[in-house]
A and B are shown apart, each in its own frame.
Chain A
Amino acid sequence: MAQTVFAPWKDRDQKPLIEFRNVTKRFGDFTAIDNLSLNIYEREFFALLGPSGCGKTTMMRMLAGFESVTEGHIWLGGQDIISVPPNKRPVNMMFQSYALFPHLSIWDNIAFGLRRESKDKEMIGERVEEMLRLTRLTKFAKRKPHQISGGQRQRVALARSLAKAPKLLLLDEPLGALDKKLREETQFELMDIQETTGTTFVIVTHDQEEAMTVASRIAVMDEGRLVQVDTPDVIYEAPNSVYVADFIGDVNLIPGTARLRPAEPEPPVAAPTLAKDPAPVAEAPAPATETTAPPPTAQADAPADARQPAPNERGEWIYKKVFARFLGQRDLATPQLPPPSPGELAAARKAEADAERANTPTPDAARAPAPAAKPHGTETKSGGILIDWAEGQPPIIVANGDTALDGKPVTLSIRPEKVTIDLEKPDRPNVLPGKVIDIAYLGNISTYHVELASGRMVKAQMVNARRLSNRHITWEDAVWIGFTETAGVVLEE
């Protein structure tokens, strides 16, 4: 059963729980928060994300009452709270250091806030037990904070801050002290707890993955301003600025100049594709110089491929004599691999050639000779813009680009996982040749750093569906990177 989408920020009638209204905070000459307005709704899991010193912690401390507000107002549940002291606010905070009272047991730590409200003992006991159950800490109730592990301390801190059932829970880098695996588990626990208790959570973090995982909405901050406030998917897929694109996840940023894409589908589709054709491809019109290299598939001197792990003679002998009996004859993938050296050569020569002819043939000229020469297989979406990103390089087709950007400097942002990498020229709207410079092997995925002919580095990510030993792309390989006409986002400078 599909659930109704939780998106109170889209509902105009919805009253925000927290409202920052033109809030400014200055420390002496330094402006930590600059005229900031923001609404946070009930039951939201809201993340304040940004590099250190961007003001996210100041925002949180203002909500908790530990920092005064220089200008503006903060409303919480219809009440202006800027003059309310921290101990009178219906807000609890989970501190980055956890701030557990070392002289009190886990039980007393959790009961601390409840006792201040002088409720009766029985009720306090019940509530503490409930919190212990929620955070799976019942066994440790009698221990002191220094007798439990970091992950348990984190849960005590959470239980303590939730015990008073606050309207709003603030979490200051709550998982920063945990190791990666525990952190990921805890993120899901946090989400579960947030859902079961129905409390509004505001989390401060510099870890974008954490923010993406837990938050219903993320506010990306920079130098005391909100750069973008949106759901994780929008922040990731449609960043509104180079800053956001660059801060969230891995990204390729290609600066260039926007140009209106011709409307009629036929020529523009073919034209840029052709223009993109680099020298090494046989069917492409050869440049004036004789630099046309053999296609990357050509077999050539193999020894250049020293990086490819391959058995030596003795290994071969042992395999044949011993392992072949029960492992079967090995089909040697190595010789079939395209040797990198010709490709390398091709890329290098092409780069030279590009540099040489940089001032002579315009892209239009290059495109002119054969519009029909290459019938394209894929249906390319029409409209949008073209981006001229490097001298002598084919423009990038961006079908989702705003036509109003015509003639303006723009930056194309493409996530590496939306960029494919192939040894053969793929059939995609945007294809660029390059050379593999670096491979970051992360186990599940590999990130390839590809140097384009213009010298620009582009990251392409591939899921390692096959075992590493079968990996067919290696260092220095001449490769083609490709992406669709809608893969990227055009950002104005």
Chain B
Amino acid sequence: MNLVRLIDYLREHLKTVIRVCYGFLALLVVLDALPFVVDKHHAHTQIEKIPGFWAVFGLVGCIILIVLSKWYGKLGIMQREDYYDE
């Protein structure tokens, strides 16, 4: 099937795919910093006008969510699968 071959092809060239992704991420930040591309007139707060603010928000938010949730889970929330069985 073509779809599978495409995915396999991308996996074989994983290094290149990752490099392209890095390039894309950098491009997004750069575009965000250019006022004639991204018009920040409609930003709701001052802090959003810092270039790449939402990139930091996304990355830090993601890490905080994972770490906090895992910490919460280890407080005794995560249990064996047969916890409710008798």
**Same assembly:** no
Which B positions have Cβ atoms within 8 angstroms of A? none
